[in-house]
């Protein structure tokens, strides 16, 4: 038994020695017991682009990155090759959550989108596992980094050609890059918690429906069961309808899982069950 088991509520894949090792190794993909579907038949011989999923936070800190990371990890383990993109090139936390060191930044892509080719993508992405590629950056805080719509579009086009799913952590939907991702996505996952400001902004985000034909919007209520949250009846009344999915409040397992760079659904049954519903719904089958 791993020392982390009592905290995480389940068996962990790594030895105690491994969990203390500061060097991050990609986590091995594992079949998920509750994900019946195999990898997308598109696979490497894909004839159509992978599905683009934009994960948006109603407000800062509500859990958009947590949802993006876990959705991408779930899709990669249960459904097919997945790319995970952190749109915040300076302060994003996707790479941190998986204990990865971001590759050399797509900064050149930001400035010259026509240089985004397969070689560039190979250099810029980091493998979190065999089927999960991460595109993230840690640009200096002092620089003014504004990614333009054409640059984002070029990156997304490449990623969608090479993956069954591309999940983008948009964070707060501000700026040209965020707008470009939202417009291009066939699914918007709006994340909020049960606080009044977050519910208000979830309603406003939902009202800004995608113009793209066939695009879907899904709401995820994160931290269900957190102390001091609104009662479910009030929450549904404020939202105008029940959230599409809820993720449970699990601060300790999440913190420990982030410490070892693994998705928490490996170790926390409640989270695993909730993610299986969310992941299958997002995958669309
Ligand atoms: N379901 C949950 N239960 C407990 N803690 C959670 C849950 N979801 C997220 N958290 C914690 O809340 C904090 C913020 O989460 P996260 O970074 O995902 O939010 P964010 O919306 O991406 O924030 P930011 O606006 O800074 O990008 C993290 O410490 C995370 O571990
Ligand atoms: Mg975030």
Ligand 1 pocket, residues with Cβ under 6 angstroms: 57, 60-66, 93, 171, 222-223, 247, 249-251, 254
DSSP track, the chain: --TTHHHHTS--SS-HHHHH--S--PPPP---TT----S-TTSTT-SSPPEEEEEEESSTTSSHHHHHHHHHHHHHHHTS-EEEEES-TTT--HHHHTT----S-THHHHH-GGG--HHHHHHH-EEEETTEEEE-----TTS-----HHHHHHHHHHHHHH-SEEEEEEES--HHHHHHHHHH-SEEEEEE-SSHHHHHHHHHHHHS---STT-EEEEEEEEET-TTPPPHHHHHHHHSS--SEEEE--HHHHHHHHHHT--GGGT-HHHHHHHHHHHHHHHT-
Give the chain's domains with CATH numbers.
50-283 (3.40.50.300)
Question: Closest Cα to atom 9, ligand 1: which residue?
Answer: 63
Q: What percentage of the chain carries pLDDT values higher than 70? A: 80
Atom of ligand 1 nearest to the CA of 57: 21
Mean pLDDT of 88-106: 86
Q: How high does pLDDT run on average in the chain?
A: 83
pLDDT tens-digit readout, 137-189: 888 888 777 777 888 888 899 899 999 999 999 999 998 889 999 999 999 99
Ligand nearest to the CA of 227: 1
Atom of ligand 1 nearest to the CA of 247: 1
- Label the pairing between strands 187-192 and 51-57: parallel
Distance 1 CA to ligand 2 centre (A): 32
Residue 29 to residue 7: CA distance in whole angstroms? 23
Residue 29 to residue 76: CA distance in whole angstroms? 8
Which has the minimum average pLDDT: 27-36, 40-49, 273-282? 27-36
Atom of ligand 1 nearest to the CA of 69: 18
Residue 116 to residue 131: CA distance in whole angstroms? 21
Q: How confident is the model at residue 58 (pLDDT cuts 50, 70, 90)?
A: very high
Mean pLDDT of 200-217: 92
Question: Closest Cα to atom 16, ligand 1: which residue?
Answer: 63
Question: Closest Cα to atom 15, ligand 1: which residue?
Answer: 63
Distance 42 CA to ligand 2 centre (A): 30
> What's the pLDDT score for residue 106?
61
> What's the pLDDT score for residue 267?
87
> What's the pLDDT score for residue 33?
44
Residue 183 bridge partners (DSSP): none
- Ligand 1, residues 8, 57, 65, 201: which to mutate, most atoms within 8 A of Cβ? 65
Instruction: Identify which has the larger pLDDT, 212 or 116.
Output: 212
Distance 254 CA to ligand 1 centre (A): 9
Atom of ligand 1 nearest to the CA of 248: 1
> What's the pLDDT score for residue 205?
96
Question: Closest Cα to atom 29, ligand 1: which residue?
Answer: 255
Residue 129 bridge partners (DSSP): 132
Distance 156 CA to ligand 1 centre (A): 25
- In sequence order, the 6+-apart residues with CB closer than 8 A to the CB of 265 are 32, 70, 73, 74, 271, 272, 275, 276
């Amino acid at each position: 038994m791993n020392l982390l088991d009592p905290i995480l509520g389940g068996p962990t894949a790594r030895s105690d020695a491994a969990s203390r090792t500061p060097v991050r190794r990609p986590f091995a993909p594992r079949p998920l017991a509750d994900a019946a579907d195999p990898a997308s038949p598109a696979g490497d011989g894909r004839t159509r682009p992978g599905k683009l999923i934009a994960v948006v936070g109603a407000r800062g800190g509500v859990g958009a990155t947590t949802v993006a990371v876990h959705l991408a990890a779930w899709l990669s383990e249960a459904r097919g090759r997945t790319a995970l993109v952190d749109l915040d090139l300076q302060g994003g936390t996707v790479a941190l959550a998986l204990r990865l060191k971001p590759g050399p930044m797509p900064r050149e892509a930001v400035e010259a989108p026509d240089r985004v080719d397969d070689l560039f993508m190979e250099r810029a992405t980091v493998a979190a596992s065999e089927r999960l590629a991460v595109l993230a950056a840690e640009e200096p805080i002092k620089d003014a980094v504004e990614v333009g719509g054409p640059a984002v579009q070029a990156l997304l086009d490449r990623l969608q050609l090479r993956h069954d799913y591309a999940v983008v952590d948009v964070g707060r939907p501000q700026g040209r890059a965020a707008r470009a991702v939202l417009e291009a996505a066939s699914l918007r996952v709006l994340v909020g918690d049960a606080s009044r400001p977050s519910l208000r902004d979830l309603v406003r985000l939902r009202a800004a429906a995608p113009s793209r034909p066939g695009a879907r919007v899904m709401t995820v209520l994160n931290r269900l069961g957190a102390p001091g949250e609104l009662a479910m009846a009030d929450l549904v009344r404020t939202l105008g309808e029940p959230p599409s999915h809820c993720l449970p409040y699990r601060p300790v397992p999440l913190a420990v899982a982030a410490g070892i760079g693994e998705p928490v659904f490996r170790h926390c049954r409640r989270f695993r069950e909730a993610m299986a519903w969310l992941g299958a719904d997002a995958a669309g089958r």
